[in-house]
Amino acid sequence: MNEPMDDLERQLVDALQRKEPSAGFEQRVLTAASRNVANRNKLPTWFGMPRLRWAAALAMPLVLIVAVEIRREAAERAAGEAAKARLQLALKITGEKLRKIQDQVNAGQDQ
Partner 1 sequence: MKKTMIAMACWALLPLAAQEIKLPPNLEKLADKAHEVVDVTMDGALLQLAARFLSDKDPDEARIKKLVSGLKGIYVKSFEFENRGEYQESDLEPLRAQLKAPGWSRIVGVRSKRSGENAEVYLRSDNGGITGLAVIAAEPKELTIVQIIGPLQPEDLRDLGGHFGIPRVDVGRKNGKEE
What residues line the site for partner 1 (CB under 8 A)? 77, 79-81, 83-84, 86-102, 104-105, 107-109, 111
26 vs 110, beta carbon nearer partner 1: 110
| Closest approach of partner 1 to the CB of residue 61, in Å | 29
Amino acid 63 reads V
10 vs 99, beta carbon nearer partner 1: 99
71 vs 99, beta carbon nearer partner 1: 99
How far apart are the C-alpha atoms of 40 and 36, rounded to whole Å? 6
Rg of the chain over Cα atoms, rounded to whole angstroms, equals: 46
| Closest approach of partner 1 to the CB of residue 111, in Å | 8
| Closest approach of partner 1 to the CB of residue 91, in Å | 4
How far apart are the C-alpha atoms of 107 and 97, rounded to whole Å? 15
3-state helix, strand, coil in the chain (%, to 5): 85, 0, 15
| Closest approach of partner 1 to the CB of residue 100, in Å | 7
How far apart are the C-alpha atoms of 79 and 73, rounded to whole Å? 10
55 vs 93, beta carbon nearer partner 1: 93
